[in-house]
Homo-oligomer: A and B are copies of this chain.
Amino acid sequence: MALLKCTISRGLLHTFNGRHLFSTVIERRGEFAELTEDDLLHFRGIVGDRCVKTEEIDEYNTDFMGWYKGRSQCVLLPQSVQQVSAVLKHCFHRRLAVVPQAGNTGLVGGSVPVHDEIVLSTKKIVNTFSFDPNSGVLDCDSGFVLEDANARLSPHGFMVPIDLGAKGSCLIGGITATNAGGIRLIRYGSMHSHVLGMEVVIPDKDGTVLKLGSNLLKDNTDLHLHKIFVGSEGQLGVITRVQMQTVPKPISVQSAFLGVTSFDKCLAILRSAKHLLNEILSSFEFIDGETMQMVEQNVGLSGPLPSNSAYPFNLLIETSGTDSEHDLAKMDRFLDRCIGDALAADGVLAKNMSEAEHMWKIRENCSLGLRQDGYVFKHDISLPLEHFYELTEQIRERLRETNVRRICTFGHLGDGNAHLNVTVPTFDEDIYQRIYPFIYETVASIGGSISAEHGIGLLKREYHHKLIDQKRRMFSSRIKRLFDPRLILSPYKMID
């Protein structure tokens, strides 16, 4: 496949530089109205005075990474689906642009305004929380925080099977709208495996409320329209309620840490885990030697293996089951096989919670620790497993004799999801030019994905436009227009 000519816009470059000038490059669309005092009065009538915010709204205008800052003058905090409907109906008629925002924990700038879009926060939509312990189906409003939802499910012995760093802030509606991934996807699948139905408000002339799917595990009575909203990044409507299947909470959780000398052996270990651990395998995480060194240097955490940082590849493998004796026996058998067949050079099984927590602390600090290097070029990509580590090596070759601090990869190997990072003391345009568009074009050329779990948002919009097949994009645009006829929802992002 010929590499695509794909240049990054100056705006994006500047935001990387922390100067938030993106809005000078993507022009504000002239057809959108500007917010007036009358609009605010109308909104106050809908959601109440205290839920129309026009001051101290920086947190709503700024994305989690601090890369993007919009200049919205108004944040609305509706408390019900009826209020969302009335807001969107008004915005349709006035042609006011709107960006839906859930926990605002996204990593691609998808949930903040680019210009002066109204922020429609869903975090106060928390009226209904209903759980059926027979079916395990949760039916709840979209504003619940994931961790809070799990706390409510815990007494029933169930949990939402999505686990990610932002669980203390991300909302049920947000993880649905972004098809969030995380560390347990290898076991439980993506949000598509769990979401059975939803209530969504469309930005059309009536602020139409659609109830799609149902709360039933099996329901083949119509097109599965709710599925198009999973991963739609707020482009089609505002999700106000979600019906989803939860899973029984495991009783036994085991963690093991392995040091491996070649990437091919990592793959052999993955294949072995799928068969020997099979039904209890719940995570298969990858940390390369450079990342381990960084965690030791920047965070002061040593690996659990004696000479850990010496291993070029490290795996953190977790099982979840109902019987610790069984799970330990399976883990022992698996680890014996890994060592016996010389697939792993060393390995250790966490003997208690504290040892397991130490292993997971290392994994969590892979991302956090990098910030101390200075500026981080972060990537969230899917790669065919046989090519998983080649790109890291190509980038190392490409950036030889530059002033990069570190080039390292960690991620969810079991899902083919690599987080490849390049760190530099401060943002560096030369490095930038050497990385982009090379990295995304290479990913595309070997059949990978430029966004595995983080989405497109604002960060990858240019690449989405250039790398996604034109015919497919045309159908995405048509579907967008079908639900959002005036294109007022989340403009300037994935579908534009």
Chain B CB within 8 A of A309 CB? no
- In the assembled complex, how far is the CB of residue A247 from the closest CB belonging to chain B, in whole angstroms? 8
Point out the residues of chain B lying under 8 angstroms from A135, CB to CB: 384-385, 416
- In the assembled complex, how far is the CB of residue A441 from the closest CB belonging to chain B, in whole angstroms? 14
Chain B CB within 8 A of A279 CB? yes
- In the assembled complex, how far is the CB of residue A214 from the closest CB belonging to chain B, in whole angstroms? 6
Knowing A225-B472, A326-B329, A482-B475, say if A449 contacts B216 (CB, 8 Å): yes
Chain B CB within 8 A of A220 CB? yes
Chain B CB within 8 A of A453 CB? yes
Evaluate contact between A219 and B382: CB separation under 8 angstroms: yes
Evaluate contact between B221 and A449: CB separation under 8 angstroms: yes
Evaluate contact between A278 and B221: CB separation under 8 angstroms: no
Evaluate contact between B322 and A192: CB separation under 8 angstroms: no
Knowing A181-B218, A217-B415, say if A278 contacts B225 (CB, 8 Å): no
Question: Measured between alpha carbons, how far is A398 from B278 in the docked complex, in Å?
Answer: 48
Evaluate contact between A478 and B468: CB separation under 8 angstroms: no
Stretch in A77-85, A229-237, A426-434 with 4+ CB within 8 Å of B: A229-237
Near B by CB (< 8 A), chain A positions 425-474 give: 447-456, 460, 464, 467-469, 471-473
Q: How many monomers of this protein are in the complex?
A: 2
Point out the residues of chain B lying under 8 angstroms from A451, CB to CB: 219-221
- In the assembled complex, how far is the CB of residue A447 from the closest CB belonging to chain B, in whole angstroms? 7
Chain B CB within 8 A of A299 CB? no
Chain B CB within 8 A of A157 CB? yes
Knowing A228-B223, A322-B279, say if A417 contacts B218 (CB, 8 Å): yes
Question: Measured between alpha carbons, how far is A412 from B216 in the docked complex, in Å?
Answer: 13
Point out the residues of chain B lying under 8 angstroms from A220, CB to CB: 178-179, 181, 231, 449, 451-456
- In the assembled complex, how far is the CB of residue A199 from the closest CB belonging to chain B, in whole angstroms? 11
Question: Measured between alpha carbons, how far is A368 from B218 in the docked complex, in Å?
Answer: 22
A414 and chain B: residue at smallest CB distance: B217
- In the assembled complex, how far is the CB of residue A208 from the closest CB belonging to chain B, in whole angstroms? 6
Chain B CB within 8 A of A271 CB? yes
Knowing A322-B276, A322-B279, say if A221 contacts B468 (CB, 8 Å): yes
Query: Of B223, B228, B279, which one neighbours A320 at CB under 8 angstroms?
Result: B279
Question: Measured between alpha carbons, how far is A193 from B275 in the docked complex, in Å?
Answer: 20
Point out the residues of chain B lying under 8 angstroms from A412, CB to CB: 218
A450 and chain B: residue at smallest CB distance: B221
A240-277 interface mask toward B, CB cutoff 8 Å, 1 = contact, 0 = none?
A: 00000100101000000000000000010011001111
Point out the residues of chain B lying under 8 angstroms from A349, CB to CB: none
Point out the residues of chain B lying under 8 angstroms from A210, CB to CB: 469, 471-472, 475
Question: Measured between alpha carbons, how far is A454 from B219 in the docked complex, in Å?
Answer: 9
Near B by CB (< 8 A), chain A positions 195-214 give: 208, 210-212, 214
Evaluate contact between B189 and A193: CB separation under 8 angstroms: yes
Chain B CB within 8 A of A215 CB? yes
Chain B CB within 8 A of A494 CB? yes
Query: Of B216, B382, B415, which one neighbours A416 at CB under 8 angstroms?
Result: B216
Evaluate contact between B275 and A211: CB separation under 8 angstroms: no
Evaluate contact between B222 and A386: CB separation under 8 angstroms: no
A109-136 interface mask toward B, CB cutoff 8 Å, 1 = contact, 0 = none?
A: 0000000000000000000000011111
CB-defined A-B contacts under 8 Å, sample of 18: A132-B385, A134-B386, A135-B385, A189-B189, A192-B193, A210-B471, A210-B475, A216-B447, A216-B449, A217-B382, A217-B415, A218-B412, A219-B451, A223-B236, A223-B480, A250-B278, A250-B279, A326-B326
9 smallest A-B Cβ distances: which pairs?
A227-B227, A218-B452, A193-B193, A134-B385, A219-B449, A326-B326, A216-B382, A279-B279, A278-B322
